[in-house]
Amino acid sequence: MLPSGAVKSRSRFAIALTLAVALGAWLIWTSIGGSLETYTSPSGLVKTTDGTTYRLNGKVAPGSPADAAERAQTAEGLRFTVRDKDRPSVTVPVVYRGSVPDAFKDGREIVVTGHMENGVFQADRGTLITLCPSKFMEEQAAKGKTMPDGAAKEPTGT
């Protein structure tokens, strides 16, 4: 039989270990939980409910504001349309408030975080990111070859 001091020591150790494991699990859960937004395309937003946070990925549709002067004219923020990369006919209107990357333009792939509200994607301030094509893709486009998303560019003559 163990002395009562050894039993107390073991039970204290077991309690401390249980608390440490629980604290570690809670810290991991809370740190991961903030970054678990659903990543989706415009076609994925068709049947969404208002309020859920998403990371919208798509291409800026033609006709969206292209320069700073046009962006500044909209008091409610930058309004533009994002089209689905796989289904270009599916689009979603976006309202974004915050700084706009210099690379923002028609046809550029973007990622923005926000939520749907009355059929409009309300983007969170400071979450607009433009994705630049790789050097390989730019070289292929310069040669007039078809890009993976189906777009083709005319040769630049260089």
Instruction: Give tens-digit pLDDT for 34-57.
Output: 555 567 888 888 777 777 888 999
The pLDDT of residue 131 is: 84
Question: 97-116: string of b/e by CB count within 10 Å (b at 16+)?
Answer: eeebeeebeeeebbebbbbb
State whether 79 and 99 are in the same domain: yes
State whether 116 and 137 are in the same domain: yes
The mean pLDDT of 115-134, rounded to a whole number, is 86
108 vs 153, more confident: 108
Asked if residue 157 belongs to a domain, the reply is no
In terms of residue numbers, what domain contains 23?
A: 1-36
State whether 88 and 20 are in the same domain: no
State whether 70 and 88 are in the same domain: yes
Percent of the chain with pLDDT over 90: 19
State whether 54 and 112 are in the same domain: yes
Residue 150 has pLDDT above 90, yes or no: no
The pLDDT of residue 113 is: 92
CA distances from residue 17 to 7, 13, 22, 90 in whole angstroms, order as listed:
15, 6, 9, 53
Give me the chain's average pLDDT, please.
77
State whether 32 and 45 are in the same domain: no
Asked if residue 46 belongs to a domain, the reply is yes
State whether 92 and 74 are in the same domain: yes
Asked if residue 79 belongs to a domain, the reply is yes
Q: What confidence category does residue 1 fall into, taking pLDDT thresholds of 50, 70 and 90?
A: low
